[in-house]
A and B are shown apart, each in its own frame.
Chain A
Amino acid sequence: MDKDRVIAEINWPGTAVLVFWGLAWEAAVRSGLLRYEYLPAPSAIALGFGELASQGILAPDIAHTLIAVAIGWAVAIVLGVSLGFLLGLSPTARRYSLASIEVLRPMPGVAFAPVGLLLFGFSLKTEMVVTILPVLWPVLVNTIGGVTGVHQRLYDVGRTFRLSRKDTILRIILPAAMPPIVVGARISLGLALVLAVVAEMVGNPEGLGYGIVREQQALRPDLMFAYIVTVGLIGIVLNAGMLALAEALFPSFRQLRGGP
Chain B
Amino acid sequence: MTSTEERSDADEKAVGPAFECRSVTVEFPHKFGRKRIIEDISFLVRSGEFLTIVGPSGTGKTTLLRAMGGLTPTVSGSVLVHGKELDGPPEDVVIVFQDYSNALLQWRTIAANVAFGIERTLERQETEQRVRDALALVGLERNADDYPWQLSGGMQQRVQIARALASRPAVMLMDEPFAALDAMTKASMQDELLRVRDRTGTSFVFITHDIEEAVYLGDRIAVLTGSPGRIDRIFEIGLPAPRDQLSTRQLPKFLEFRYAVHQAIGRVHG
Task: List A residues at the B interface (Cβ < 8 Å).
Answer: 151, 153-154, 156-157, 159-163, 167, 171-172, 175-176, 178, 250-252, 255-256
Contact assessment for B105 and A255 in the assembled complex, using a CB-CB cutoff below 8 Å:
no
The answer to whether A167 and B120 touch (CB under 8 A), given A157-B103, A175-B105, A255-B149, is: yes
- The answer to whether the Cβ of B71 comes within 8 Å of any Cβ in the partner chain is yes
Q: A151's closest neighbor in chain B, by CB? A: B102
Residues of chain A within 8 A (CB-CB) of B204 are none
Contact assessment for A162 and B89 in the assembled complex, using a CB-CB cutoff below 8 Å:
yes
Q: Which of B91, B117, B147 contacts A252 (CB 8 A)?
A: B147
Residues of chain B within 8 A (CB-CB) of A157 are 97, 103, 105, 116
Residues of chain A within 8 A (CB-CB) of B97 are 153, 156-157
Query: How long is the Cα–Cα vector from A38 to B157 in the complex, in angstroms?
Result: 66
4 closest Cβ contacts across the A-B interface?
A: A153-B102, A161-B117, A160-B95, A252-B107
Contact assessment for B89 and A159 in the assembled complex, using a CB-CB cutoff below 8 Å:
yes
The answer to whether A153 and B71 touch (CB under 8 A), given A159-B89, A160-B89, A160-B94, is: no
Q: B95's closest neighbor in chain A, by CB? A: A160
Query: How long is the Cα–Cα vector from A178 to B103 in the complex, in angstroms?
Result: 17
The SS class assigned to the A binding surface is helix
Contact assessment for A160 and B69 in the assembled complex, using a CB-CB cutoff below 8 Å:
yes
Residues of chain A within 8 A (CB-CB) of B167 are 161
- The answer to whether the Cβ of B99 comes within 8 Å of any Cβ in the partner chain is yes
Task: Beyond the given A153-B103, A255-B106, please list 9 additional residue pairs across the A-B interface where CB-CB is below 8 A.
Answer: A151-B102, A154-B102, A160-B94, A161-B116, A172-B105, A175-B107, A250-B107, A255-B147, A256-B106
Query: How long is the Cα–Cα vector from A251 to B145 in the complex, in angstroms?
Result: 11
Most chain A beta-carbon neighbours within 10 Å: one of B69, B107, B149: B107
Contact assessment for B107 and A256 in the assembled complex, using a CB-CB cutoff below 8 Å:
yes
The answer to whether A159 and B103 touch (CB under 8 A), given A171-B116, A255-B149, is: no
Q: A178's closest neighbor in chain B, by CB? A: B107
Q: A155's closest neighbor in chain B, by CB? A: B71
Residues of chain A within 8 A (CB-CB) of B69 are 160
Query: How long is the Cα–Cα vector from A88 to B69 in the complex, in angstroms?
Result: 27
Query: How long is the Cα–Cα vector from A160 to B89 in the complex, in angstroms?
Result: 6
Residues of chain B within 8 A (CB-CB) of A161 are 89, 94, 116-117, 167
